[in-house]
């Protein structure tokens, strides 16, 4: 094992530790999503809603843009019902103008749900779900990211998330 980060190739033991950390992060993310869904918000619950005028001359023709658990953007017309729906990942090309209208009032990093998850014999973790459809699990005291979901899929670990980095595996001087 080389001491330089760009020349480091993981040993079999380090590779096994990295895989175990990824599995643990996926398990923690699934537990956090189930915790939110079971305790905070049921399936298809509206997390954020904004009213946008459809026709300036007719106040009854109002449209509502809403973010629904688990990361769905919906366009709803009063007294009519659901007009259009898309996952937040696909909303940028399915409903680009509606997503732009939503982002004017609700930025992507706005936290819509947050909770502290406490389980027996483990440390508490903070769980947050933002307007871009990303679920984050953080250590309650240090705020270190323990797991991050894919956008619009709170039960799936993000492919970009690394549970262990090179610096986590380096020996430390005490």
Q: What is the pLDDT of residues 10-32, one digit of tens each?
A: 778 888 988 999 999 999 999 99
Which is nearest to 147 in space by CA: 25, 17, 19? 25
Name, in order, each residue with C-beta under 8 angstroms of 64's C-beta and a sequence gap of 6 or more.
49, 50, 51, 52, 75, 76, 77, 78
Over residues 81-102, the pLDDT tens digits come to 899 999 999 999 999 999 999 9
- Predicted pLDDT of residue 49: 95
Whether pLDDT at 76 is above 60: yes
- Give the start-to-end residue ranges of the domains of the chain: 21-41+109-169, 46-105
pTM: 0.85
Q: Where are the beta strands (DSSP E) in the chain?
A: 46-52, 63-68, 72-77, 81-87, 111-117, 125-130, 135-139, 145-150, 153-157
Higher pLDDT, 62 or 106: 106
Which is nearest to 133 in space by CA: 160, 106, 115? 106
Which is nearest to 28 in space by CA: 131, 171, 157, 164? 157
Three-state DSSP at 67 gives strand
User: Which DSSP category does 36 fall into?
Assistant: I
Higher pLDDT, 4 or 152: 152
User: pLDDT grade, residue 169 (50/70/90)?
Assistant: confident
CB-based contact 147:125 (threshold 8 Å): no
Average pLDDT, the chain: 88
Name, in order, each residue with C-beta under 8 angstroms of 165's C-beta and a sequence gap of 6 or more.
none
Element (H or E) spanning 33, and its range?
Answer: helix 12-35
Which is nearest to 129 in space by CA: 95, 106, 152? 152
């Amino acid at each position: 094992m080389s001491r330089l980060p760009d020349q480091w190739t993981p040993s079999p033991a380090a590779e096994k530790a990295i895989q175990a950390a990824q599995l643990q992060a996926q398990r923690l993310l699934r537990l956090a999503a189930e915790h939110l869904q079971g305790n905070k918000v049921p399936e298809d619950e509206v997390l954020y809603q904004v009213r946008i005028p459809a026709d300036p001359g007719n106040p009854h023709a109002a449209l509502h843009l809403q973010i629904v658990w688990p990361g769905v953007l919906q366009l709803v017309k009063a007294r009519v019902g659901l007009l259009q729906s898309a996952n937040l990942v696909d909303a940028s090309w399915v409903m680009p103008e509606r997503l732009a209208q939503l982002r004017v009032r609700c930025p992507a990093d706005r936290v819509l749900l947050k909770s502290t998850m406490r389980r027996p014999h483990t440390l508490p973790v903070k769980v947050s779900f933002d307007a871009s459809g990303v679920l984050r699990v953080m250590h309650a005291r240090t705020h270190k990211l323990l797991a991050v979901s894919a956008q619009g899929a709170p039960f799936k670990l993000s492919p970009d998330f690394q549970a262990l980095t090179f610096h986590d595996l380096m020996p430390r001087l005490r």
